[in-house]
Structure 1
Amino acid sequence: MLSAQQNNIRNLSLSELENFFAEIDEKKFRAKQVYEWLWQKHAGSFDAMTNISKDLRSKLAEHFSLPALTVNTTQYSADGTVKSRFETFDHHFVEGVLIPTEERKTACVSSQIGCSLSCKFCATGKMERLRNLTFDEIFDQVALINEQTERIYNKHLTNIVFMGMGEPLLNYSNVLKAIDKISAEDGLGMSPRRITVSTAGVAKMIKKLGDDKVRFKLALSLHAANDKKRHEIMPINDSNNIKSLIEALNYFYKQTKNEVTFEYILFRDFNDSQQDAEELVKIYRQVPADLVNIIEYNPIDGASFARPDEETIEHFMKYLESHRVNARLRRSRGKDIDAACGQLANKDSF
């Protein structure tokens, strides 16, 4: 017997759907109607396809599954951030966040259920990686958060960041297929330039992004500017050291002409000194980077890190700016509902 994913109707292209309708003696235009329900109207079930006859809906249900993501629970932060826990067809949970500002409405989405990288400062890193999300599950996160945005703000999403649970480049094919569908005219129609994929640093796959000439933006979670410190907090640095990442990022830029963003969380008395800032400037100058996002640390259970005081943060930022680094301090949002950077962990506090 086929699993829900194996006979998932969303694995079919429009032409394959047309062939199916021809086989069951249905008119070809019905395939386009169903396809629009799947990708533009975001139907969560065959019953939701209201301009399709009940008989045809029954035939679709006999031949296919539609294992759509559903919203399990939702939390609302005092600052307007909205965190949703989504449930998969096989009853796993994954989190996504709507981050609203005056100028932007951003969806922060996940690529895996759990994570295998064990970064010391990240709540998701303490979880077991159960499986990759499929391309349509990733698409569903974006579509459902877009529906929230329209309902709450009467606006569409403006940006998407792959900075939720999991390492996107370890789910490479599903992430790229999801982005293709999100940016397609017969999908959500969002510009790839408004999509950012953030990686902890998988050098081989960064080069593959270059070979595939991707059009979306890339962010590297650096968080320490020398190998010794980076190894302490990010075990992936053992096999993907800073030198290999610099080489991969330069290759990526050469192939795509897409500038890179660095992400750098400040930890008190660990990576917040002037020497750390100097080392960060050196890396910045070796890569065609357009921005360094300096991020406030958000506390998680079981971690001993702390946020630097305001004076230290200000000194760090001023040093970068005085050395012509395009740096931005990113104030965390959604901390009161564990929705900020590094806090996503499927907690039962909903």
Structure 2
Amino acid sequence: MKEVQNIRHLSLGELENYFEEMGEKKFRTKQVYEWLWQKHAHSFADMTNLSKELRTKLGEQFSLPALKIDATQYSADGTVKSRFKTYDGHLVEGVLIPTDERKTACVSSQIGCSLSCKFCATGYMDRKRNLSFDEIYDQVVLINQQSERVYDKKLSNIVFMGMGEPLLNYNNVMKAIERISAEDGLFMSPKRITVSTAGVAKQIKKLGDDNVRFKLALSLHAANDTKRNEIMPINETNNIKALIDALNYFYKQTKNEITFEYILFQNFNDSQKDAEELIKIYRQVPADLINIIEYNPIDAFRFSKPDEDTIQNFMNYLEANRVNARLRRSRGKDIDAACGQLANKDRD
């Protein structure tokens, strides 16, 4: 039996051709496209300005698989975590992170992950498959609706820091961002979007070649290869020197903002020597910022969070050396929604 095509995988031109071949008027294309990308229809039945006959015909010819919210948790600090269910029964998580200044969606790009970073709960899950661009888009739409409902404000920012490695699902992530930033999509500026990578040097360079307009964050977490190999196996094939070269190439091509992400682990990467090594890397890349992140413990990983004095000493040393560093406090820890904790933990 032939698989029915997902209608959202048709371009505007392909949709136009389809209606033309059916003998339908040209404006039908615009109506349907609006339902798909701006009115966020979840079924053909939702498309109420089309005739019943046309809706039935579309339902016979195409599928419209939409992501659905399977469960929602609310943190004491206002963070909202959603577990989404895909059309084929997989679960994936996304988070709404509110502050006074901004409302940020943290979205996933894969179901599970293949990189096995030791400190990340998702890294202990198998990678089932990539999310399609429309599934990524749906996450943003659903989290935006939550933001409007709970905080009476639209999303201001999007970070690709959820489950999976975005650059190993390159085409779908690029297409999702294109739809998110399109005038006939969510119309959000790419400058308000950050893609975070564990460090796939070849794909970082590809971002430069493709002249993307969004920001890039590198999950560094250790400032020498020996330590980084220990916690991030990807470093064995994408070492720090290769990443520095790739980031410099990316910046030369795009002039886009680059951020380093650095989680502090007690007695592992939190000493003054570690800070010195981090500064050396920072000096080799035109990075705007180092985000120092609180570690959020997970069951499978032996490390713990340093005490407040150690964290403050680390920050003070960076600042004394004129490094633009910011301490990022965890949000949503009580519902396993903080950095590194997404794992569908409460799944049935």
- TM-score for the superposition, normalised by structure 1: 0.98
Matches of 1:2 and 1:221 in 2, distance apart?
42
Partner of 1:114: 112
Q: Residue 334 of structure 1 corresponds to which residue in structure 2?
A: 332
SS in 2 for 1:289: coil
CA distance in 1, matches of 2:328, 2:137: 26
Alignment-mate amino acid for residue 130 of structure 1: K
For residues 135 and 2 of structure 1, do their structure 2 counterparts lie closer, same or farther at Cα, with a shift above 3 Å needed?
farther
Match of residue 176, structure 2, among 175, 178, 190 = 178
Q: How far did 1:349 drift?
A: 6.0
Q: CA RMSD in A?
A: 0.9
Alignment coverage as a number of residue pairs: 348
Unaligned runs of 5+ in 2: none
CA distance in 1, matches of 2:161, 2:43: 28
**Aligned partners of 2:3 and 2:74: how far apart in 1?**
35
**Residue of structure 2 equivalent to 1:13:** 11
Please give the alpha-carbon distance, in whole angstroms, between the structure 2 residues aligned to 1:349 and 1:328: 34
Q: Structure 1 residues 67, 325: CA separation in 2 closer, same or farther (over 3 Å shift)?
A: same
Task: Identify the range of structure 1 (214-223 vs 253-262) with the bigger mean alpha-carbon deviation.
Answer: 253-262
Within a 5 Å distance, the mapping from 1:211-222 to structure 2 comes to 211-222=209-220
Q: Secondary structure at the match of 2:244?
A: helix
AA in 1 matched with 2:209 = D
Q: Give me the TM-score of the superposition, normalised by structure 2.
A: 0.99
- How far has the Cα of 1:3 moved from its partner? 3.5
Which residue of structure 1 lines up, in the alignment, with residue 148 of structure 2? 150
Task: Specify the SS of the correspondent of 2:145.
Answer: helix
Q: Residue type of the partner of 2:31? A: Q
1-structure distance, mates of 2:161, 2:2: 32
Residues 1-350 of structure 1 correspond to what in structure 2 (within 5 A)? 1-3=1-3, 7-348=5-346
CA distance in structure 2 between the aligned counterparts of 1:317 and 1:68, rounded to whole angstroms: 44
Quick one: distance in 2 between partners of 1:347 and 1:176? Answer: 28
AA matched with 2:86: T
Distance in 2, matches of 1:55 and 1:223, equals 57
Structure 1: unaligned runs, 5 residues or longer: none
| 3-state DSSP of counterpart to 1:173 | helix
Aligned AA (1:14): L
How far apart, CA to CA, are the structure 2 residues paired with 1:69 and 1:259?
A: 31
Distance in 2 between the 1:19 and 1:349 partners? 43
Measure the CA separation in 2 of the matches of 1:71 and 1:139.
14
Shift of 1:67: 0.8
Deviation at residue 55 of structure 1 after TM alignment = 1.2
Quote the Cα distance in structure 1 between the aligned partners of 2:107 and 2:194.
Answer: 10
CA apart distance, 1:83: 0.4
What letter matches 2:25 in structure 1? K
Question: Which amino acid is the alignment partner of residue 256 of structure 1?
Answer: T
**Distance (Å, rounded) in 1 between the aligned partners of 2:332 and 2:46:** 33
Report deviation, 1:204: 0.3
Q: For residues 14-50 of structure 1, what are the alpha-carbon distances to aligned partners after superposition, in whole Å with 9 as ceiling and x for unaligned?
A: 1211111121121110110010010011111111112
What's the secondary structure of 2:288's corresponding residue? Answer: strand
Instruction: Calculate percent identity across the aligned residue pairs.
Output: 79
Larger deviation, residues 45-54 vs 194-203: 45-54
Counterparts of 1:213 and 1:159 in 2: how far apart (Å)?
Answer: 20
The CA deviation string for residues 276-305 of structure 1, in whole angstroms up to 9 with x for no partner, is 000000000000000000000001112111
CA distance in 1, matches of 2:52, 2:273: 68
- Secondary structure of the equivalent of 2:93? strand
Note the C-alpha offset of 1:79. 0.5
SS of the equivalent of 1:94 reads: strand
Secondary structure in structure 1 of the residue aligned to 2:174: helix
Q: 1:200: Cα distance to partner?
A: 0.1
Structure 1 stretches of 4+ moved >2 Å: 1-4
SS for the counterpart of 1:285 is helix
Code of the residue aligned with 2:206 in structure 1: it is K
